[in-house]
Amino acid sequence: MTAPFASLSQFRAVLQALPGADSTAIAAAQERNIQLTKPPGALGRLEDLAIWYAGWRGTGKPSLDAPQVIVFAGNHGVTARGVSAFPSEVTVQMVANFKAGGAAINQLAKAFGARMDVHALDLDQPTADFTAAPAMTEAEVVAALACGWQAVDPSADLLVVGEMGIGNTTCAAAMACALFGGEPGEWTGRGTGVDDRGLALKTQVVAEGVALHGGTDPLEVLRCLGGREIAAMAGAIARAHALRIPVILDGFICTAAAAVLAQAAPGALDHCVAGHASAEAAHRALLSKLDKAPLLELGLRLGEGSGAALAIGVLKGAIACHSGMATFAEAGVAAG
């Protein structure tokens, strides 16, 4: 479908009209959960996950059969400042790798039965260097949001969004700092692996960007400090909410995209769970601002949606237990 917005103000209105979860389905899932053959609460967070998922899918006994992974790619003018350990050419090379099935996210999507799509957004047209000008015009950011919005398969029952974009941890750090305040150094990490000197430079670049574009509203933060793949992730997460498709958030950059939505409209991320806490230290701080507890913490710092894709397994396990287990009555087990 065509995206139902042609400007940031229209996108904001879409966010403010997003639906909530189905409270009847939540109640049915809670009722079922207490009847399953296990001590109350013995499946820990798996129980909460299944009930949350049930609420978004609108049934007390849901299944998870059609997860979709979408990887968005974009290039960043701020790489001219030398903020990444890798050259920008790697973005297009990795897109080819995604399309050929050779990247980590391809293996994880396959391992967990997910459909995978790749959208490269104008890789030959990097965004503007945000230390000199807004990264994108309004038309550019709206086009990227619309790309994400349209990329979601309405028949999916779970969404993971990932990214590839040399330089984009710098964007995410600047966005987080502009959205939540604090010192640029608190939000800036090593990304794919810059050294101490690179980290100091990156922090300086983040500070310059925030000084130039901070203090504006969340959607302007996205436009001025973000990037095309980041806006596309935000658009896809919003569309999933509109479709009541639950989302597993990935790492720092994905979470920065999601944070824009949360700051623009309370409850915009109620359909999202945090897949993991990455090794990028600011990711944990950002999840904390969003009141999201990560499912996994395995030191990943790859992006691509990899940590979220790995967490599909946890969610699949939670739903398999919830919807597949016998009740005490069915199994003839004493309930204690």
**279 φ, ψ (degrees, to nearest 5):** -75, -15
Tell whether residue 100 is a contact of a second copy (CB under 8 A). yes
Tell whether residue 224 is a contact of a second copy (CB under 8 A). no
CB of 314 to a second copy, least distance (A): 6
Tell whether residue 93 is a contact of a second copy (CB under 8 A). yes
Q: Which of 10, 24, 107, 137 binds a second copy (CB under 8 A)?
A: 107
Tell whether residue 211 is a contact of a second copy (CB under 8 A). no
Size of the site for a second copy (CB under 8 A): 59
Q: Which of residues 66-85 bind a second copy (CB under 8 A)?
A: 85
Tell whether residue 37 is a contact of a second copy (CB under 8 A). yes
The question of whether 330 is a catalytic residue gets the answer no
CB of 39 to a second copy, least distance (A): 4
Tell whether residue 326 is a contact of a second copy (CB under 8 A). yes
Q: Which of 69, 71, 94, 128 binds a second copy (CB under 8 A)?
A: 94
Of residues 66 and 90, the one with the C-beta less far from a second copy: 90
Tell whether residue 329 is a contact of a second copy (CB under 8 A). no
Inter-helix orientation angle 23-35/45-57, to 10°: 140
HEC per residue, the chain: CCCCCCCHHHHHHHHHCCCCCCHHHHHHHHHHHHHECCCCCCCCHHHHHHHHHHHHHCCCCCCCCCEEEEEEECCCHHHHHCCCCCCCHHHHHHHHHHHHCCCHHHHHHHHCCCEEEEEECCCCCCCCCCCCCCCCCHHHHHHHHHHHHHHCCCCCCEEEEEEECCCHHHHHHHHHHHHHCCCHHHHCCCCCCCCHHHHHHHHHHHHHHHHHHCCCCHHHHHHHHCCHHHHHHHHHHHHHHHCCCCEEECCHHHHHHHHHHHHHCCCCCCCEEECECCCCHHHHHHHHHCCCCCCECCCCCCCCCHHHHHHHHHHHHHHHHHHHCCEHHHHCCCCC
CB of 313 to a second copy, least distance (A): 3
Tell whether residue 330 is a contact of a second copy (CB under 8 A). yes
Tell whether residue 185 is a contact of a second copy (CB under 8 A). no
Tell whether residue 111 is a contact of a second copy (CB under 8 A). yes
Q: Which of residues 277-306 bind a second copy (CB under 8 A)?
A: 279, 295-302, 306
Tell whether residue 97 is a contact of a second copy (CB under 8 A). yes
Catalytic position from the list 183, 208, 304, 330: 304
Of residues 145 and 194, the one with the C-beta less far from a second copy: 194
Q: CA angle at residue 244 from 324 to 152, to 5 degrees?
A: 105
Q: How far apart are CA 286 and CA 256, in angstroms?
A: 7
Which stretch, 23-31, 178-186, 216-224, 312-320, contacts a second copy (CB under 8 A)? 312-320
Tell whether residue 336 is a contact of a second copy (CB under 8 A). yes
Whole-number Cα distances in Å, 21 to 51, 67, 132, 297: 11, 19, 42, 27
Q: Which of 5, 52, 53, 112 binds a second copy (CB under 8 A)?
A: 112
Partner residues linked to 172 by β-bridges: none
Of residues 110 and 139, the one with the C-beta less far from a second copy: 110
Binding site for a second copy (CB under 8 A): 36-46, 85-87, 89-90, 93-94, 96-97, 100, 102-104, 106-108, 110-112, 192-193, 279, 295-302, 306, 309-310, 313-314, 316-317, 320-321, 324-326, 330-334, 336
Catalytic residues: 304
